[in-house]
A and B are shown apart, each in its own frame.
Chain A
Amino acid sequence: MKKLLAKDPTNIVITGVGGQGNVMASRVLAGMLVEKGFCVTIGETFGMSQRGGSVMSHLRVSPKTVWSPQIPLGQADIIVALEPSEALRVMSRWGNPEVAVLSNNRVVYPLGVITGDYDYPEEQKIKNIFAKLAAKSWMIDATSIAMEMGNPVLSNIVMIGALAKTGLLPIDRRAFEKEINRSVAADKRGANLAAFDAGAKMV
């Protein structure tokens, strides 16, 4: 299993906006990887994160050791974004020609856009940047499917399902099921599994 990692450490950034379930997504993903025997270091900033700011979790996955909870600039291997402009924000600092980007397409407007001081880049423009500056990229509509399932916050799990399907990491549905059986209340497991499956169908 350990040979399935692209490099040591494999660096993953999960990003989004406060309230999108970023921290939960990083914990679920890390839980699956620890269960597989990897040493995972997660660095995250919360506290002020629920108040509309950008949220970012750095995951370092290694067969053997603890790494810094902050990924060096330009060294992300995988970027998972719950919000598209946040994908760009992370790319602009941690991106490199080999990075893989998986992004939700649902926009959460920053204050400056709401007030009219800034423009939000159009979806096609963001897709073009992904195509030009990332080695692989996927843009999916995770929030719509999560809303159809009754709760937009499930977008984070839709994204994890999609991430598993990309094959970038040694994670699968069985590992996810095991992780949510451990960490999620029994009455919410069904919805999480359905969200994971929906995500897997989107890439």
Chain B
Amino acid sequence: MSAANKEVLFMGNEAIARGALEAGVNVAAAYPGTPSSEVIENLAAVARQRNLYVEWSTNEKVAVEVAAAASFAGLRSLCAMKQNGVNVASDFLLHLTASGTRGGIVLVSCEDPGALSSVNEGESRYFARMLEMPLLEPADFQEAKDLTKWAFELSEKIHNIVMLRSVTRMSHASGNVICGKLPTKIPQARFVYDGPPADPLTGPVISTPVGVKHKLQQEKLKTAKELFEKSPFNKYIGPSKPQLLMITSSACFLYSKEAVSMLNLQNRVGILKLGCTWPLPTKLLKKYLRLTNKVMLVEEVLPFMEENIKVLAASYPKEIGVKNFYGKIDGTFPSVGELNPDIVAQALAGIMKVKYKTLPVSHVRELQKVAAMIPPREQTFCPGCPHRASFWNINAALKLDGREGFVCGDIGCYAMASLNPAIGFYTVRTLHSMGSGTGLASGFAKLGMFGFDKPVLSVCGDSTFYHAVIPALINARHHQADITFVVLDNAGTAMTGFQPHPGLTLSATGEEVPAVDIGKICEAIGAKVEVSDPFDLEATTKKLNAFMAEKGTLKVLILKQICALSPEKKGKRQFDVKVSEELCLGDACGCNRLCTRIFRCPALTWDKIKRKAVVDEVICAGCGFCAAICPQSAIIKAEVAAS
């Protein structure tokens, strides 16, 4: 671990983890989700060395509960999640912010503006306002560390949970950080609960009596606001009399700074960077809002700061004057997608009536010609991915079944089966939150009384199964929903980087733990359960068709095959795969290039000169599944000798 005062390159999430360590965090819990996962991974890596308890919890709500227990026992704790994880945790959070906390506890929400690796563009900052908890937003890597550390102090001062919001361009970006000292004291956990019921610090930790606790919660927020007024994490850069004031937070501060520099507006535009964004520090904002009547709000996803600052400004018209606001609401900034320095510079240039310098027109024209000739690069399942095989099986079974059945999808890499052109045989027709595929399938299956007669399947990954599918599965069984549920078990939370889950025998910190078996859970619910290897096309399709034909019961098929990128499997080929030039009929075959046009494995390419399929040996993972799909049996697989 880096020593105090050492300057290092940290990813935003690494800086957040370091801040927690410098604050003396004792317990950390999370459910993996991009872009948040590295916070816990970095803490897990030093758990033994720093005497921490770190876990990958079953879902985000459980993660906050685990962290809160540590807080109730006087320890410092952290929980981390991606934006929509806060939705999952929110029911507990509503009650937690009312009961209050004891040891410092910080909720880290890493959001994904532009949905770079999400199926939503959720915004969690409104939870801070709705659930009445303080909100902090770091704007660079040093702050990601320092603000996290301060969040623990704030939480302990006001005895409530504090939310720290990051974004992909902060969490997954990297920059220089100067490390601070790590504490040496090891605290003792002690949960005191026998004081007076209304005393939140010695009595039971409860959200009642509601009137008393809610009032207390709001007083805590007032204390936080007072601290925010003087916080060094809110700062102003710019002239004393700016013509325009930009108010911003998080990565948008870096875009704003760059935009001002690109347009050489340092003497005309001021930037108020807020690290403390809820509750807003009123006096501080009044001080800077007074400077000019042109105010630009630079933020991503929803206009959270814009709304709050407009309400604040409307309360003090005599003191600060009437403002022209430029933000998302008036269309200065796009209402969806992430921002970048160009979008901010363009908006700023328009309002300040300056020229936004671009390249020579002739060069731009040449670059446009280049852009037109580059083939797009779409995402797809990796070479050797068991999901491609699983969906090939499902698609084959649905075709054989012939009743136009469909699949309700879920969250993981396998969500790509809802996309064209990821594969040429996409079968997933609904895609929502974790566990929702099976809940939706359960609902579709009950529409028979209205003439609905298609077979319904749902899929989910192994980690998703534990996170949110079990209640939906119980619902399907109890209400006799006739569905075939397929578990795409690739032995880990693959999409976010192979974090362990309750189905495995290894914990976040490498200890051996008991595995909870998916098949046994399904059997206990009363489902008929079978297991198959998705790389075995014949056996898997047969099982799927038998399940789809069987009426009146809940059927579960577990497709087991390790992710091609998992550390156990990566780089280890089971088969050498080649296309036989003699057997492949190429354009002359009636298959109409089934392998390259429909199957779409990046390792199976088309030789334009020979007009035949060919395997790219650099990227082929050697799963051998494609050998089963070629109608000419021209794809030859040979078992690689064990070395």
Contact = CB atoms under 8 A, between A and B. Distances in A.
A161 interface: no
A115 B421 contact: yes
Contacts of B374: 85, 88-89, 92, 121
A194 interface: no
Interface in A86-124: 86, 88-89, 91-93, 95-97, 106, 108-116, 118-121
Contacts of A152: 618
Contact of B358 (A19, A74, A106): A74
Given A92-B370, A114-B602, A133-B370, A45 B378 contact: no
B7 A50 contact: no
B175 A40 contact: yes
A96 B363 CA distance: 7
B271 interface: no
Given A67-B258, A92-B368, A109-B616, A72 B602 contact: no
Nearest to A125: B373
A91 B367 contact: yes
A143 interface: yes
Nearest to B33: A47
A118 B605 CA distance: 13
Contacts of A96: 359, 363
B547 interface: no
A111 B616 contact: no
Contacts of B359: 74, 96-97
A73 B363 CA distance: 13
Contact of B382 (A51, A54, A97, A116): A51
Contacts of A70: 169, 255, 340-341
B590 interface: no
B175 A108 contact: no
Contact of A91 (B7, B170, B370, B380): B370
Interface in B172-205: 172-176
B331 interface: no
A68 interface: yes
B8 interface: yes
Interface string B116-133: 110000000000000000
A66 interface: yes
Contact of A39 (B173, B176, B340, B413): B176
Interface string A178-197: 00000000000000000000
B254 A69 contact: yes
A121 B254 contact: no
A89 B9 CA distance: 28
Interface in A32-57: 34, 39-48, 50-54
Q: Counting chain B CB atoms within 10 Å of each CB, which of A40, A73, A86, A91 scores highest?
A: A73
A2 to B, nearest CB: 14
A109 B432 CA distance: 31
B87 to A, nearest CB: 19
B602 A39 contact: no
A69 B377 contact: no
B116 A48 contact: yes
Q: Counting chain B CB atoms within 10 Å of each CB, which of A93, A106, A108, A147 scores highest?
A: A108
Nearest to B170: A69
A110 to B, nearest CB: 4
B172 A46 contact: yes
Interface string B582-597: 0000000000010011
B218 interface: no
B317 to A, nearest CB: 35
Contacts of B593: 115-116
B445 to A, nearest CB: 31
Contact of B340 (A68, A92, A113): A68
A31 interface: yes
A40 B375 contact: no
Interface in B372-426: 373-382, 413, 416, 421-422, 424
Contacts of A133: 363, 366-367, 370
Contacts of B102: none
A52 B379 contact: yes
B35 interface: yes
B535 to A, nearest CB: 19
A68 B258 contact: yes
Contacts of B116: 45, 47-48
Nearest to A42: B174
Interface in B55-109: none
Contacts of B370: 88, 91-92, 95, 129, 133
B352 to A, nearest CB: 17
Q: Counting chain B CB atoms within 10 Å of each CB, which of A27, A71, A74, A109 scores highest?
A: A109
A92 B371 contact: yes
Interface string A19-31: 1000000010011
A114 to B, nearest CB: 5
Contacts of A147: 618
A88 B605 CA distance: 21
A111 B340 contact: no
A73 B342 CA distance: 7
Interface of A: 17-19, 27, 30-31, 34, 39-48, 50-54, 66-74, 85-86, 88-89, 91-93, 95-97, 106, 108-116, 118-121, 129, 132-133, 143, 147, 152
8 contacts: A34-B9, A41-B141, A48-B379, A51-B380, A52-B381, A86-B377, A133-B363, A133-B366
Interface of B: 7-9, 34-35, 116-117, 140-142, 168-170, 172-176, 251, 254-255, 257-258, 262, 340-342, 345, 358-360, 363, 366-368, 370-371, 373-382, 413, 416, 421-422, 424, 495-496, 565, 593, 596-597, 600, 602, 604-606, 616, 618-619
Given A68-B251, A68-B254, A116-B606, 13 more contacts: A40-B174, A42-B173, A44-B173, A47-B495, A48-B117, A52-B382, A66-B142, A69-B169, A70-B255, A73-B342, A114-B596, A114-B600, A120-B375
